[in-house]
Amino acid sequence: MALSSGWRVFASFPMNRYVVLWKAVRSSGFPLFPWGHCPWRGTGSLLDPEMKAFLEENTEVTSSGSLTPEIQLRLLTPRCKFWWERADLWPLRDPYWAIYWPGGQALSRYLLDNPDVVRGKSVLDIGSGCGATAIAAKMTRI
């Protein structure tokens, strides 16, 4: 599989530079978010009430059928209305966030089975879909 030019640049960038940059940002004393905390943490109170109701109505909380039955996620499943609709009828963009992708399942399972990998470390979960990898990392640190 050939990487696009952007990914080739990213893949060739030494990872220790990211670590140095991250440590510099963290040690600067400035919050990572201008309001002092991450808005996505908490009870979901930042969601518009209509959007929250829509998501609750059109997704399902499930933990079955994955490699990590100990994690419950709100997902788009075959029992959900929009699973069977045409993509152009979905009121939001493609719901990548509502699917527990196989790669995310495998990484989540690995973290749960090998907690020493993330113990005592900061974990940044980018692009894993529904966030289960971040949840698994957090579960290993409790």
Q: In this structure, is residue 64 part of a structural domain?
A: yes
**pLDDT tens, position by position, 7-48:** 454 455 555 555 555 565 556 555 554 444 444 455 555 667
Q: In this structure, is residue 22 part of a structural domain?
A: no
Q: In this structure, is residue 70 part of a structural domain?
A: yes
Look at residue 56 and tell me whether its pLDDT is greater than 80: yes
Classify burial at 111, counting beta carbons within 10 Å of its beta carbon; exposed 0-12, middle 13-18, buried 19 or more: buried
Percentage of the chain beyond pLDDT 70 is: 62
The total domain count for the chain is: 1
3-state secondary structure 60-94: EEECCCCCCCCCCEEECCCCCHHHCCCHHHCCCCC
Full domain range(s) for residue 94 = 49-140
Within 13 A of 110's CA, how many CA atoms are on the CB side?
9
Q: In this structure, is residue 55 part of a structural domain?
A: yes
Burial code (b: 16+ CB inside 10 Å, e: under 16) for 86-100 equals eeeeeeeeebebbbb
Q: In this structure, is residue 66 part of a structural domain?
A: yes
Percentage of the chain beyond pLDDT 90 is: 23
Q: In this structure, is residue 16 part of a structural domain?
A: no
Give Cα 20 to chain centroid, integer Å: 24
Q: In this structure, is residue 24 part of a structural domain?
A: no
- Kind plus residue range of the DSSP H or E element containing 49: helix 49-58
Q: Tell me which residue has tokens 């990484």.
A: 107
Q: In this structure, is residue 3 part of a structural domain?
A: no
Instruction: Give the mean model confidence (pLDDT) for residues 58-79.
Output: 90
Instruction: Give the mean model confidence (pLDDT) for residues 74-98.
Output: 78
Longest dimension (CA), the chain: 49
**pLDDT tens, position by position, 99-114:** 899 999 999 999 999 9
